[in-house]
């Protein structure tokens, strides 16, 4: 049997171009905005609720929303940038004064305890 890689690449590439031309795939700016939002959600899910993730996750989500608003909804950068700065500052203050742990204490991605590593 012969290698089917090239015909499969042709089919997949043709389907991707066809989907792009029919508008079934969003433009790059929408994909970047979705990536920022998904990255923010991933930070909150995988890192748990820590001081760092309390800032990083929501700021990434807000950055994705601001990116989408700027490129797809026509929001002005003179409004988007200051609002994102204010939001990031508020999240940093909340993380500083909230009774939230510095690092994740348990779970699959939590740092290992030095005493537990000996056993």
Query: In this structure, is residue 70 part of a structural domain?
Result: yes
Angle at the Cα of 100 (from 99 to 106), degrees rounded to 5?
Answer: 140
Q: Which domain holds residue 60?
A: 26-110
Query: In this structure, is residue 96 part of a structural domain?
Result: yes
pLDDT in tens, the chain (119 residues): 466 677 888 888 888 888 888 888 888 898 899 999 999 999 888 888 888 888 999 999 999 999 999 998 999 999 999 999 999 999 999 988 888 777 776 544 555 555 555 54
Query: In this structure, is residue 101 part of a structural domain?
Result: yes
Per-residue CA distances from 21 to 25, 27, 45, 64, 113 (Å): 8, 11, 35, 25, 53
Query: In this structure, is residue 116 part of a structural domain?
Result: no
Residue 52 CA to residue 6 CA, distance in Å, equals 46
CA neighbours closer than 13 Å in the CB half-sphere of residue 84: 20
Query: In this structure, is residue 52 part of a structural domain?
Result: yes
**pTM of the complete model beyond 0.85:** no
Q: Count of domains in the chain?
A: 1
Query: In this structure, is residue 91 part of a structural domain?
Result: yes
């Amino acid at each position: 049997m012969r290698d089917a890689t090239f015909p499969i690449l042709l089919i997949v590439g043709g389907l991707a171009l066809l989907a792009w031309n029919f508008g079934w795939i969003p433009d790059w700016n929408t994909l970047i905005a979705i990536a920022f939002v998904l990255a923010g959600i991933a930070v909150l899910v995988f890192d748990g609720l820590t001081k760092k993730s309390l800032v990083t996750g929501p700021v990434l989500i807000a950055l994705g929303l601001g990116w989408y608003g700027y490129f797809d909804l026509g929001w002005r950068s003179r409004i988007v940038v200051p609002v994102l700065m204010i939001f990031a500052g508020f999240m940093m203050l909340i993380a500083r004064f909230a009774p939230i742990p510095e690092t994740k204490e348990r779970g699959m991605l939590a740092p290992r305890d030095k005493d537990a590593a000996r056993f």
